[in-house]
Amino acid sequence: MLLLLLACQPDRTPTWAFDPVWITPVADDILGFQSWQIYGEPWRDNPDARFYVCGVVVQLDGTPTACDDCIAAWETTATLVETDCPDAIASDPLFTSVVAVGIGEASPDAEAPYPGSRAIGWIDYGFGWEEHGWAWPAALDEGGSGTVPWDGTEPYQLWPRSIWPLDPTAGTTTPASRSAP
């Protein structure tokens, strides 16, 4: 019986990392949280919560900076604040590598959540600016409304369009090889 139960357990080898970001304005600065969610191998083809392995929460404190494609951008200091991951995973430098976040113009992507109410989210993991995915007023997640483009007065959610592969043997990320979920 025990063998049967073990055979039915999902693969919990840390294989994929997904990193939504939430930011809120504090005067001209921002306070944000990046919640890295780590999943096992089957999650890529079946994004089910049962494949969750652990998480890493990073606080982002940001001050205004420049970004050519952004309406607003902030240089950030990333600080690990909470994790339920083993040290071999939680200590991966990628999790605290964000050096800047930004919000761009309205997104024309029809695949994005909240069509007509989302922008392009930008991020810099220390390799230069890249599209992170979509950004929208956090109030939309609660059934409320918000302003697009960002007007500097409300919290925003930045939702990634790609995931990070992890090397399950080394517990490390491979930032050069992100892929779409």
Look at residues 94, 21, 25, 96 and name the one whose alpha carbon lies nearest to residue 64: 25
**Pair 43, 16: CB distance under 8 Å:** yes
Spatial distance between the Cα atoms of 38 and 102, rounded to a whole number of angstroms: 24
What pLDDT score was predicted for residue 109? Answer: 80
Rg (CA), the chain: 17
pLDDT tens, 126-180? 999 999 999 999 999 999 998 888 899 999 999 998 888 887 555 555 444 455 4
**Pair 83, 35: CB distance under 8 Å:** no
pLDDT tier at 112 (50, 70, 90 boundaries)? confident
**Pair 85, 114: CB distance under 8 Å:** no
pLDDT tens, 16-45? 999 999 999 999 999 999 999 999 999 888
Spatial distance between the Cα atoms of 140 and 156, rounded to a whole number of angstroms: 9
Half-sphere exposure of residue 54: CA atoms within 13 angstroms, side-chain side: 17
What pLDDT score was predicted for residue 175? Answer: 47
Mean of the per-residue pLDDT values for the chain?
87
What pLDDT score was predicted for residue 135? Answer: 95
Percent of the chain at pLDDT exceeding 70:
86
**Residue 92: how many other CB atoms lie within 10 Å:** 23
If you average pLDDT over residues 119-125, what whole number do you get? 95
**Residue 124: how many other CB atoms lie within 10 Å:** 20
